[in-house]
């Protein structure tokens, strides 16, 4: 009987162990995981017996097994402990116990999810018959050991279980770590790290979903391309840490504004995209866009710095304006640029004309990169005359671009594009070189004319002051004797002065130290405070054409011209008036004591040869007896 018992036991045990091993191997091969043991906790064995002597005997027997041993003196205590021990790897269970016997205890253990899979070994001195042994196995045991126990066999079996437990536990930890990592990677793939908002990838998915829903329900949704105004300045002046805080704050504010079905995504640096669902009412949509504008404009405070930004928003409505979800972002982006150019803190709806304009801009941008190389650029000269004497003072170099495909493109249009794509540096250098060379050629041709003044005025973009290239170029021309410093004037914009950065002021100072003249172009259109003019080494201001065109009808313009001239003279600066088209304007400027004048009244900007002819005719007419 006992040998039969043993055989049955062995068979069942082998089967169970094999099954366990096979499961493990399958798991490993499926996952292709290296069997790396992660930091393993120590397994726990629970010894359940109502007799203390029996428990002690087992503890002693198992003292060399790599596990912590914990005791319980009845079924109830065993259940309570089994549930609370996370590393429980094996239960040694006495069959015969008062109140709740081993079988009942095992059945209850099998009912709890936490203890369902913990192996149980029954130990008994009494119930050795086949019926009891089978009962033991059917109540969930993996082994049924009858006393007297053979210590080597029991410790060997238990040690094997511990090895298997470790293996399984390690594997589970590894799998969990992998799942965690995958979840994290998945999160990162679809979210922005800084703000935690959905990123572009997630946004594209959300747009597709929203389009699908809108198509099905016959509803509309709006896409808002939100670009922060002035964020770059915050980043540059207060550092990236504060910049990051600003972005986080804005992200939180935007998220607070939207509904569950909406999306706020971070699209790039300081660009956010907000997808507003169910916006069938234009008035309601406008209200919500205004809320976004307001929330971006609310001041924020970091480290005693109060920061107030604003946003420019481009809006595109699906499917009302565009029924292609792939183009929504691009079109909202185009509308955003329009909003920005209209003067920040505003929004703009996309329109078909904007698309055409954006397309043209793209073409211009492509062609612009090759314009110099293809010799499509030309410098025109517009004379500047001295008001008192009507003598020539010099000429402003004005760039012209004639492209085979696009035709004549005005500088007002392509210069900002050149600034945006960086080609302004090459273009600016080319203008300086060409204008100086050509004007010096003209000067040498008229060297017989005594005291001919021929200053060349060249427009410089703000960007050309961001590095020292322009300074070195100018210095080169002067050092190599190509032009005298006093014959060169650089026209800068009011916005350059407004930036008031140390770097820019240094460049201005070193240019001025070379002896060239600096003039402020389009004066009066920006916000030039007098203090800038006092602080910077400026020689001349150019009164903007928009004031001159008001003469003689607009009294306010005339008062302003008078004030600018008086103020400039008070600061020791000369004044050039631009855009003189009529005799009345010319006379008014003479009367107000303006120093120099420029405009169609004298001549339009002319190509090299025409300018030379204009100059020659003028000099001839002055020589001719009156
Ligand atoms: P700006 O520097 O204010 O140049 C004066 C503009 O007024 C020129 O336009 C000129 O042709 C125009 N103008 C001159 N007199 C009159 C007049 O009596 N009536 C009218 N209606 N217009 C007059 P243009 O050549 O189209 O240049 C536009 C702007 O493009 C310039 O404004 C300047 O800001 C920029 N620009 C031109 N060439 C260059 C360049 O080489 N570099 C840079 N950075 N900007 C340039
Ligand atoms: Ca100018
Ligand atoms: Ca101007």
Mutation test residue for ligand 1: of 459, 462, 603, the one with most atoms within 8 Å of CB: 459
Taking the centre of ligand 1 as the mean of its atom positions, its distance from the CA of residue 320, in whole angstroms, is 40
pLDDT of residue 14 exceeding 70: no
Q: Is 519 in the pocket of ligand 1 (CB under 6 A)?
A: no
Q: Mind spelling out the 3-state secondary structure of 517-554?
A: EEEEEEECCCCCCHHHHHHCCCCEEEECHHHHCCCCCC
Dist. CA 26–CA 605, nearest whole Å: 84
- pLDDT tens-place string over residues 188-227: 899 999 999 999 999 999 999 999 999 999 999 999 999 9
Closest to 603 measured CA to CA, from 454, 400, 414, 396 = 396
- Residue for token pair 């039969």: 4
> What string of DSSP letters covers 394-417?
EEEEEEEEEETTTEEE-HHHHHHH
529 confidence band (pLDDT: 50, 70, 90)? low
Question: pTM here?
Answer: 0.61
In 230-309, beta strands by DSSP E? 263-268, 271-276, 300-302, 305-307
Question: Quick one: tokens of 271?
Answer: 């660009």
- pLDDT tens-place string over residues 49-100: 999 999 999 999 999 888 999 999 999 999 999 999 888 999 999 999 998 9
Q: Is 416 in the pocket of ligand 1 (CB under 6 A)?
A: no
Mutation test residue for ligand 1: of 398, 416, 429, the one with most atoms within 8 Å of CB: 398
- Residue for token pair 């961001």: 466
Lowest pLDDT segment from 266-275, 471-480, 490-499, 504-513: 490-499
Lowest pLDDT segment from 128-132, 252-256, 266-270: 128-132
- pLDDT tens-place string over residues 150-173: 888 888 889 888 888 888 888 888
Protein residue with its CA nearest to atom 36 in ligand 1:
411
pLDDT of residue 539 exceeding 50: yes
Q: What are phi and psi of 161, to 5 degrees?
A: -60, -40
Q: How far is CA 569 from the centre of its chain?
A: 47
Q: Which residues surround ligand 2, an ion (CB under 5 A)?
A: 459, 491, 521
Return the SS3 of 349.
strand
Q: What integer pLDDT is reported at residue 161 of this predicted model?
A: 86
Taking the centre of ligand 1 as the mean of its atom positions, its distance from the CA of residue 372, in whole angstroms, is 19
Q: Is 585 in the pocket of ligand 1 (CB under 6 A)?
A: no
pLDDT of residue 310 exceeding 90: yes
In 322-376, beta strands by DSSP E? 346-349
- Of ligand 1's listed atoms, the one at least distance from the Cα of 379 is 41
Return the SS3 of 147.
coil
- pLDDT tens-place string over residues 370-409: 999 999 999 999 999 999 999 999 999 999 999 999 999 9
pLDDT of residue 12 exceeding 80: no
Dist. CA 268–CA 273, nearest whole Å: 9
Q: Is 317 in the pocket of ligand 1 (CB under 6 A)?
A: no
Pairing of β 263-268 and β 271-276: antiparallel
Taking the centre of ligand 3 as the mean of its atom positions, its distance from the CA of residue 492, in whole angstroms, is 9
Lowest pLDDT segment from 141-150, 293-302, 593-602: 141-150
pLDDT of residue 434 exceeding 80: yes
- pLDDT tens-place string over residues 315-357: 999 998 888 888 999 999 999 999 998 888 999 999 989 888 8
């Amino acid at each position: 009987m006992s040998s039969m018992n043993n055989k049955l036991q062995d068979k069942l045990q082998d089967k169970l162990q094999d099954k366990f091993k096979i499961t493990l191997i399958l798991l490993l091969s499926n996952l292709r995981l290296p069997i790396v043991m992660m930091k393993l906790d120590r397994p726990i064995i629970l010894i359940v017996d109502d007799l203390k002597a029996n428990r002690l005997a087992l503890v002693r027997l198992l003292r060399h097994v790599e596990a912590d041993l914990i005791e319980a003196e009845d079924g109830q205590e065993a259940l309570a402990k089994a549930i609370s021990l996370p590393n429980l790897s094996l239960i040694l269970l006495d069959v015969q116990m008062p109140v709740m016997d081993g079988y009942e205890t095992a059945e209850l253990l099998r009912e709890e999810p936490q203890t369902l899979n913990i192996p149980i070994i029954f130990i008994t001195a009494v119930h050795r018959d086949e019926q009891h042994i089978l009962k033991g196995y059917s109540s969930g045991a993996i082994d049924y050991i009858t006393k007297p126990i053979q210590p080597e066999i029991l410790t060997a079996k238990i040690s094997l279980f511990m090895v298997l437990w470790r293996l399984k536990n390690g594997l589970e930890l590894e799998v969990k770590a992998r799942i965690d990592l995958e979840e994290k990677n998945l999160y990162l793939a679809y979210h922005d790290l800084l703000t935690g908002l959905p990123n572009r990838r997630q946004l594209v998915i959300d747009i597709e979903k929203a389009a699908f829903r809108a198509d099905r329900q016959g509803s509309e949704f709006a896409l808002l391309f939100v670009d922060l105004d002035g964020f770059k300045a915050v980043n540059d002046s207060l550092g990236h840490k504060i910049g990051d805080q600003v972005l986080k704050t804005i992200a939180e504010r935007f998220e607070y504004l939207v509904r569950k079905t909406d999306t706020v995504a971070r699209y790039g640096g300081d660009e956010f995209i907000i997808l507003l669902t169910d916006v069938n009412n234009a008035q309601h949509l406008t209200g919500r866009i205004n809320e976004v504008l307001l929330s971006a404009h609310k001041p924020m405070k970091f480290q005693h710095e109060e920061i107030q930004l604003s946003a420019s928003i481009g809006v595109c409505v699906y499917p009302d304006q565009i029924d292609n979800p792939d183009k929504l972002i691009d079109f909202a982006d185009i509308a955003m640029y329009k909003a920005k150019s209209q003067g920040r803190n505003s929004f703009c709806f996309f329109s078909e004309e904007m698309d055409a304009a954006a397309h043209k801009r793209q073409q211009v941008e492509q062609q612009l990169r090759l314009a110099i190389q293809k010799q499509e650029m030309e410098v025109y000269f517009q004379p500047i005359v001295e008001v008192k004497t009507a003598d020539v003072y010099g000429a402003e170099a004005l760039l012209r671009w004639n492209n085979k495909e696009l035709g004549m493109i005005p500088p007002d249009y392509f210069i900002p594009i050149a600034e945006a794509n960086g080609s302004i540096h090459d273009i600016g250098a080319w203008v300086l070189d060409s204008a100086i060379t050509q004007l010096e050629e003209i000067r040498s041709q008229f060297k017989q004319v005594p005291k001919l003044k021929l200053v060349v005025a060249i427009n410089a973009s703000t960007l050309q002051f961001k590095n020292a290239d322009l300074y070195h170029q100018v210095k080169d021309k002067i050092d190599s004797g190509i032009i005298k410093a006093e014959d060169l004037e650089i026209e800068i914009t009011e916005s350059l002065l407004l930036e008031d950065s140390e770097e820019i002021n240094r460049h201005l100072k070193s240019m001025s130290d070379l002896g060239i003249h600096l003039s402020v172009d389009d004066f009066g259109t920006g916000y030039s405070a007098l203090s800038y003019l006092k602080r910077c080494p400026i020689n001349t201001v150019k009164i903007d054409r928009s004031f001159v065109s008001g003469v003689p009808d607009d009294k306010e313009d005339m008062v302003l011209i008078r004030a600018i001239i008086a103020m400039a003279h008070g600061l020791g600066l000369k004044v050039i008036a631009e855009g003189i088209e009529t005799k009345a304007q010319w006379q008014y400027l003479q009367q107000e004591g303006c120093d120099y004048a420029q405009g169609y009244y004298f001549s339009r900007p002319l190509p090299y040869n025409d300018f030379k002819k204009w100059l020659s005719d003028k000099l001839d007419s002055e020589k001719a007896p009156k």
